[in-house]
A and B are shown apart, each in its own frame.
Chain A
């Protein structure tokens, strides 16, 4: 009875806006106390996960992403993409999709994309006569597009929590990520044809000059991706090189940011996010160990098995469940709380853990757009000064397209698994 009251109280506190790490911390401490175990055991878990070599990649990539967002890299990237895609109908929309996807891979879908790139693209879209509803929905949607591409923060975190190989999950995300971008591109081009807007002719000299302008930044994604897949360096080493390189290029080559004024500010901003995520990771291990100790995943499996027999049916229920999770929780807490619970169940249904990771991340990517709490909706609403309801309505079509792509990703495991196998990623 008492423990039930405490549980209800903690759940209530969580929904009333208490920091989630404090809620999880309280759960794991109470659980250990009930078993008569010294609470410093939680801290043993915490030091173990905090000194995990892979974890180093999280602050380094996040810092690099924030540096890029604060520099003029978005302008250079957009200029280049416009020079290349400007000639096709809906070209500017395609520019938004491609640049945002590349960018989000580095910024890890923390809302930075909408502010840095969306803030730049939205006025241009309107100026070129794209309808407001189309543009608003597009920019809101692109804020989390690219989450499946390496080296995005949620992929690293997922691999860490589910203890599967980061390199495998990196490889698995590429084809499904491309599918999402492609589906939205097809829609944008068709709409672009319908709007019948002015197109920009393809001019080689424009392409070359914008290529030259972005010459220091363009190699980054290629070096990171190629380096990791070829086994030349680990994700952590890639993060170290990226962070240092971006720092040098933005401060000394482009001179977009100053070393003593801007860089400390960017460091503090980016590490506030990292600190918030790390606090949850720190206490999550205690929580996870407790859940596994209490055989919660086993019991959940017993329960689901009585209702659901086939893996196909399980995947349907999983998607519905994850969309609800995405509506209520941000992606980082969702990974930490939900993954340890569903991973063993999914494995019991014979679902590949790497494929499960991609399904999970795609669902949560859509979760960024679903009311009532989708983060992108609120960032867009704030950034472009539109009521949340208007943003929601503008985004519905895009959610529909992403859901269709999600179904394909869910029921065609080969999309997620093929590339990793072809490359022989371990």
Chain B
């Protein structure tokens, strides 16, 4: 349990800093592009493409953090009014489900990556297209891990009274 919590903490810290890096690149580069276009009439050819890639990279790291913090968008109208124990039990179910779906999505993304490697398309600056898409299977893998950790933690909470409310 402690090892699991340490893993989760380590992952979120790395994801957090990766996210700061990706978003910073996006903010600075997109602003630089606007300046270059308006003052000098031309921006960097690869600038807009890199910004768009960063949206995807930021999105997946942000989504991993959302999974860790239980902040993915869901319908909580019905579960809100259930006793804590039932709610934890349901969260085991929904988190396992989300984890399984993410594994399948990861495999689908992996398939795309392989076919892109074969076709050998280029993104910009001679960087192959598949490099930009590495974040998709990696992101879904992170999501799957976080959902699984959540499931275990909620499973524990079903059996252990938390704050006497159980």
Contact B20 A268 (CB under 8 A): yes
A306 contacts chain B at the CB level, 8 A cutoff: no
Instruction: State the CA gap A241–B39 with chains docked (Å).
Output: 14
Measured between C-beta atoms, what is the minimum distance from A119 to chain B in Å?
A: 20
Q: Does A210 contact B (CB under 8 A)?
A: no
Point out the residue from A17, A46, A60, A271 that lies within 8 Å of B74, measured CB to CB.
A17
| A51/B52 in contact, CB under 8 A | yes
Q: Which of A73-81, A274-282, A412-420 contacts B (4 or more CB under 8 A)?
A: A274-282
A282 to B62, CA, bound (A): 14
Q: Does A283 contact B (CB under 8 A)?
A: yes
Judged by DSSP, the binding face of A is helix
Q: Which residues of B contact A59 (CB under 8 A)?
A: 23, 26, 55, 58-59
When distances are taken between beta carbons in the complex, the residues of chain A under 8 Å from B66 are 272-273, 275-276, 279
Q: Which residue of B lies closest to A275 (CB)?
A: B62
- Number of A-B residue pairs having CB atoms within 8 Å of each other in the complex: 202
B166 contacts chain A at the CB level, 8 A cutoff? no
Contact bitstring A336-366, B, C-beta under 8 A = 1, else 0: 0000000000000000000000000000000
CB distance from B139 to the nearest CB of A (A): 9
Among A96-104, A213-221, A324-332, the one that faces the other chain is A324-332
Residue of A nearest to B133 (CB): A47
Q: A-facing mask of B47-71, CB < 8 A → 1, else 0?
A: 0110111011011111111110101
Residue from B49, B78, B101 in contact with A26 in the complex, judged by beta carbons closer than 8 Å: B101
Interface size class of chain B, counting residues whose CB lies under 8 Å from the partner chain: 35 or more
Question: Is A411 at the interface (CB under 8 A from chain B)?
Answer: no
Q: Give A330 to B76 CA distance when docked, in angstroms.
A: 10
Quick check: B78 and A244 within 8 Å, CB to CB?
no
A131 close to chain B: CB less than 8 A:
no
Known A244-B28, A272-B71, A273-B71; further 17 A-B contacts with Cβ < 8 A: A14-B74, A22-B101, A29-B104, A42-B105, A42-B108, A44-B112, A50-B52, A51-B55, A63-B23, A240-B27, A271-B19, A271-B23, A271-B61, A275-B59, A278-B59, A278-B63, A373-B77
A–B pairs, 27, beta carbons within 8 Å = A18-B93, A18-B94, A18-B97, A19-B74, A20-B75, A21-B72, A21-B73, A22-B98, A22-B102, A38-B111, A39-B111, A40-B115, A43-B105, A43-B109, A46-B109, A47-B133, A51-B53, A56-B51, A58-B55, A240-B34, A244-B28, A268-B20, A271-B19, A271-B65, A272-B71, A279-B59, A282-B59
Which residues of A approach B to under 8 Å, CB–CB? Answer: 13-23, 25-26, 29, 38-40, 42-44, 46-47, 50-53, 55-56, 58-60, 63, 233, 236-237, 239-241, 243-244, 247, 264, 267-268, 271-280, 282-283, 327-330, 332-333, 372-373
